[in-house]
Amino acid sequence: MGSRFGPQGRARRFSLGFLLMSGLMWGGCINKEGERLPPGLMTFPIAIELSLPPAEDAPPEYVFVANSNFALQFNTGTVQSYDLDVLNGAIDSTGAFVGEGCNGAGFLNICLQRDATTGVLNTCIPPGTQTIDCNCDPDVDEGCAACDCDPESSELRCDPVPPDRCSVIPEQLRLRDRGALLKTVVAPGLLLSEAEIGSFADGLAISSTGERLYIPVRSNANVTFIDVNPEGLLDCGSGFVPQQSCSEFYRTSSAEQVNPSAPVEMPPDPVDVFAGSLLADFAPSENDPAFEGDYILVAHREGKASLLFDQERNGVQRPRIAASLDELAPEQVTITYQPNAKKAWISSALSNQVVRVGVAIDGDPTQSSLFNAGTLFVTGLDRGDVMRDILFDPRPGRDLAYMVSRSPESLVVARSDSAGDQLNVVDQISVCRGPSRLKLVELPARGGTVLTAFVSCFEQRMVQIIDAELFQGISILTNISGSFEFVVDLARQRIYIADFSISVLRIADLSPVLRCLEVPSTGAGGAGGMGAAGGAGGTGECSPVLVGLVGLPQPVSERPR
């Protein structure tokens, strides 16, 4: 989704701008010479997307994660492809991980006792010598698992491992410092492929066929594209292999023009991207060969937008730039296409405007342009000038837009077919502090489906869940240090949250939410409340349940936008 970095005040914006300018002056970009990102490591995961299901009733097979390398500790960011069956099996202790995963894991209490004289954990001595070996390398020390135990059968005191202290890590990751973790599950086949990209990735979109990823990368001032095969392997210049560095060809989507006779320059600082099917959204007739391929809409931070088409030409299919537009809104954050309207909406973090950008295609994609389709001004909502995300009601004929606002902190519901220049607000629901991102999901309940809104709140470290049909809260998932981007895996009843603050994925079970949707709350979870109690009973039984982590926690202090 949209821009993650600031603004958190003038100092932080200046610092980031200085880094960007310095990187450009010293060698052309921020991809500096230095230490490579260790294989399998997440670093500031900034965007996450599920693969398209292989069949209508099948679950998604992979989850893709874009790592921004925001602290510039390494010389690249990455895009990673994870196998969801392996991921969930290692957390649930099923399949190849029976008795070995996070679910049901235990940790000997003696390993948690601190030495009275030193105040540190017990000294690591191999088993059989009256002390337990707690922090060791499983590759070289046979006693490494000595602290692991079965809470159901251990003779010694065995405490269950809390879900936030157990993490699944790929076999490629050779860093063995557990930190605060009590258990790590090394999962062969978890990380299928990873590709090195530039630093400061700021979003992720998947093509209409599911065979290509698009990532706006601010250090390259461009959109990187990466191919995906049915096995979840990535290719950006070296074939479908487990690890590679993307070539210049894949890092520069704007290197070629859709219409060379009318050249267009890609604006700098891309912060969000949306991809869709040209045939489905713009073709004048079904199966028009001129409209085969995808369109890519890009929001750029300082009031600009661009349009690319990903089509085959002379045997090569790649994105090419078609149009750009400027003088929009300051500090743009996200861009979302409005179905059946041939326009996109862009949120702004510093104004009370919602930008609408129209897409015009005259006959064929070589004759295309972007135009200002009319700015909507947000009034009657406190200042109404800190919009962070916008999505449209997926149900036919509803014509509603859902917007995450920080002033006031609420989920704003408005008419998407507003006439004039004023946003027609239908309702607003109070949300947690510092709302950042939004997902709309139709959950099975009440004899059909219920449109449900998930709102992440970075500052309050939670995800809030709202019944978007009754305009009332259902529940919250708390204690997420860096709650920001996330995806909902409805088939598995799971939510995967990219925790920006400690560089892991947090996995939670949504089945309590589905149960409570059957009996809507009339109490604490209603409109205006955060729904901590939620539906039936109002006792917290509606909240998602954290089941485990993926990755090696690395606490950091920076905040995304």
If you search the block for the tokens 């209603």, which residue do you land on? 526
- CA dist 544 to 200, 308, 514, Å? 31, 39, 9
CA quadruple 305, 281, 276, 385: dihedral sign: positive
Whether residues 257 and 351 fall in one domain: yes
Enclosing domain of residue 188: 1-105+161-251
Domain stop point among 231, 251, 271: 251
Q: Is residue 391 situated within a structural domain?
A: no
pLDDT of res. 176: 58
Whether residues 501 and 361 fall in one domain: no
Beta-sheet pairing, 45-50 with 494-499: unpaired
Q: Is residue 354 situated within a structural domain?
A: yes
Whether residues 182 and 51 fall in one domain: yes
Q: Is residue 494 situated within a structural domain?
A: yes
Whether residues 30 and 70 fall in one domain: yes
What's the rounded Cα separation, in Å, for the pair 333 and 300? 8
Helix (H) or strand (E) holding 481: none
Report angle CA 162, 165, 170 to the nearest 5 degrees.
Answer: 130
CA dihedral 424, 427, 432, 433 (to 10 degrees): 30
pTM comes to: 0.88
Q: Is residue 394 situated within a structural domain?
A: no
Q: Is residue 124 situated within a structural domain?
A: no
Whether residues 435 and 354 fall in one domain: no
Helix (H) or strand (E) holding 21: helix 10-25
285: its two tokens: 């007739």
Whether residues 78 and 183 fall in one domain: yes
| Helix-strand-coil split of the chain, %, nearest 5 | 10, 40, 50
Whether residues 342 and 447 fall in one domain: no
Helix (H) or strand (E) holding 93: none
Q: Is residue 395 situated within a structural domain?
A: no
- CA dist 553 to 98, 177, 309, 439, 508, Å? 24, 10, 38, 25, 17
pLDDT of res. 481: 84
Instruction: Catalogue the long-range contacts made by 317-320 (C-beta closer than 8 Å, 24 or more residues apart).
Output: 317/293, 318/225, 318/249, 318/253, 318/256, 319/214, 319/223, 319/225, 319/253, 319/254, 320/253, 320/254, 320/256, 320/257, 320/258
Q: Is residue 382 situated within a structural domain?
A: no
pLDDT of res. 148: 81
- CA dist 98 to 162, 170, 172, 377, 399, Å? 18, 17, 21, 56, 47
**CA 123: distance to chain centroid?**
40
The one-digit pLDDT tens for each residue of the chain (561 residues) are 445 444 343 334 434 444 444 443 333 344 456 688 899 999 999 999 999 999 988 999 999 999 998 888 888 999 999 999 999 999 999 999 998 999 999 988 877 765 444 444 444 444 444 444 455 555 555 545 567 888 887 677 889 999 999 999 999 998 656 778 889 999 999 999 999 999 999 999 999 999 999 999 999 999 999 999 999 999 999 999 999 999 999 999 999 999 999 999 999 999 999 999 999 999 999 889 999 999 999 999 999 999 999 999 989 999 999 999 999 999 999 999 999 999 999 999 888 889 999 999 998 899 999 999 999 987 766 555 578 899 999 999 999 999 998 888 999 999 998 877 888 889 999 999 889 999 999 999 999 999 999 999 988 999 999 999 999 999 999 988 888 899 999 999 999 999 998 999 999 999 999 999 987 665 444 334 444 433 333 337 899 999 999 999 987 654 444
Q: Which of 309, 316, 296, 317 lies closest to 257, judged by CA?
A: 309
Whether residues 217 and 241 fall in one domain: yes
558: exposed, middle or buried (Cβ count in 10 Å: 0-12, 13-18, 19+) = middle
Q: In the chain, count H helices and then E strands.
A: 5, 35
Q: Is residue 19 situated within a structural domain?
A: yes
pLDDT of res. 441: 97
pLDDT of res. 385: 56
**Those residues with Cβ within 8 angstroms of residue 368's Cβ, 6 or more apart along the chain or in another chain:** 258, 259, 307, 309, 322, 323, 359, 360, 361, 362
Number of structural domains, the chain? 3
**CA 459: distance to chain centroid?**
17
Amino acid at 137: D
Per DSSP, helices labelled H in 392-491 are none
Q: Are 232 and 193 in contact (CB under 8 A)?
A: yes
Domain stop point among 362, 377, 392: 377
Report angle CA 225, 230, 232 to the nearest 5 degrees.
Answer: 65
pLDDT of res. 140: 57
Whether residues 440 and 527 fall in one domain: yes
Whether residues 518 and 372 fall in one domain: no
Whether residues 62 and 202 fall in one domain: yes
Domain stop point among 316, 349, 377: 377
Whether residues 451 and 511 fall in one domain: yes
